[in-house]
Amino acid sequence: MKFSIFGSLNIHLVKRQSSLVSESVLIEKLTQRDQQAFQWLYDQYSPALYGVVLRIIRDDEQSSDLLQDIFVKIWKNLDAYDASKGRLFTWMLNIARNTAIDSLRSRKTQPFAAIRTDEENVHIVDRQHNTEQPNPDHIGIKEIVNQLRPERKQLIDLVYFGGYTHEEAAEELNLPLGTVKTRVRAALQELKQLFKS
């Protein structure tokens, strides 16, 4: 049965053990334009990609349109994906993030995404909890992420979701550039430790 491959892959991903063999099978199926494979890919990754786009764009309707564009891009550019250069999910995340940030910048109707207020964060969390199939794994991750020091989280959000360069972030937060660079590294290293434990 077709789903068995993807079922096992799903477990692998949830356990955060990248399985190159399974991923290469998935990519193989995708390049053969297999609809089941695409559906699996979409179901697996669309919440994460949508979450990223939503964080950047802050508009449900525009984010939905962009998510559609992003999956079309992924579909069309699968040949360009090089497994030796990085993981598939990372590759997809980069496409999503770049597409959203480009869209944000081209519209120029609003400045770069500022840091979200706590109120908005709560709103997103609520909405996530209200989704039909709450993913217990994601909730666990969320708790881990919330342990991150606030000033580090703020910086990651600014750079990753705001598309700020280190220089722009330094200006925005009124910090020396060196501090920004150190703090970005510290933030990711802290997250790494948090996820390991």
Partner 1 sequence: MNVTEYIASGILESYVMGAVSDQERREVECLSSIYPDIRHELDQLSEVLESYALSHSVEPPASVKAKLLDQLDFDKPVRETIVRPMPVNLETTSSPTFRITWVVAASMGLLLLLFSFFLLSQLRTNQKVLATIRINNNKMQAEMRLLRDQKTQTEHTLAVVRQPGTRTMELRGNEKAPQGTMLVFWNSLTKQVAVQVQSLPALPADKQYQLWSMVDGKPVDAGVFDATNIPDLVQRLNRSVARADAFAVTVEKKGGSPTPTFSTLLALTPVNA
- How far apart CA 69 and CA 71 sit, in angstroms, is 6
Pick the closer one to partner 1 by CB: 19 or 128: 128
Choice from 55, 100, 152, 154 touching partner 1 (CB under 8 A): 55
Please choose, out of 1-9, 19-27, 104-112, 160-168, the segment that lies near partner 1 by the rule CB under 8 A.
160-168
**Least distance CB 133 / partner 1 (angstroms):** 7
- How far apart CA 122 and CA 113 sit, in angstroms, is 17
Residue type, 59: D
- How far apart CA 152 and CA 35 sit, in angstroms, is 41
**Least distance CB 52 / partner 1 (angstroms):** 5
Please choose, out of 1-9, 19-27, 103-111, 132-140, the segment that lies near partner 1 by the rule CB under 8 A.
132-140
Choice from 2, 11, 24, 98 touching partner 1 (CB under 8 A): 98
The answer to whether 112 contacts partner 1 (rule: CB under 8 A) is: no
- Residue 139 CB neighbour total at 10 angstroms: 13
Positions 63 through 92 that interact with partner 1 (CB under 8 A) = 63-64, 67-68, 71-72, 75, 78-79, 84-87, 89-90
With contact defined as beta carbons under 8 Å apart, do 9 and 26 qualify? yes
CA angle centred on 49, ends 47 and 55, rounded to 5°: 100
The answer to whether 133 contacts partner 1 (rule: CB under 8 A) is: yes
**Least distance CB 34 / partner 1 (angstroms):** 7
Q: What burial letters (b/e) apply to 156-181, b meaning 16+ CB within 10 Å?
A: bbbbbbbbbebeebbebbeeeeeebe
With contact defined as beta carbons under 8 Å apart, do 148 and 86 qualify? no
- How far apart CA 37 and CA 42 sit, in angstroms, is 9
Positions that interact with partner 1 (CB under 8 A): 16, 18, 31-35, 38-39, 42, 46-52, 54-55, 60, 63-64, 67-68, 71-72, 75, 78-79, 84-87, 89-90, 93-94, 97-98, 124, 127-128, 131-133, 135, 137-138, 141-142, 144-145, 156, 159-160, 163-166, 181-182, 184-185, 187-189, 191-192, 195
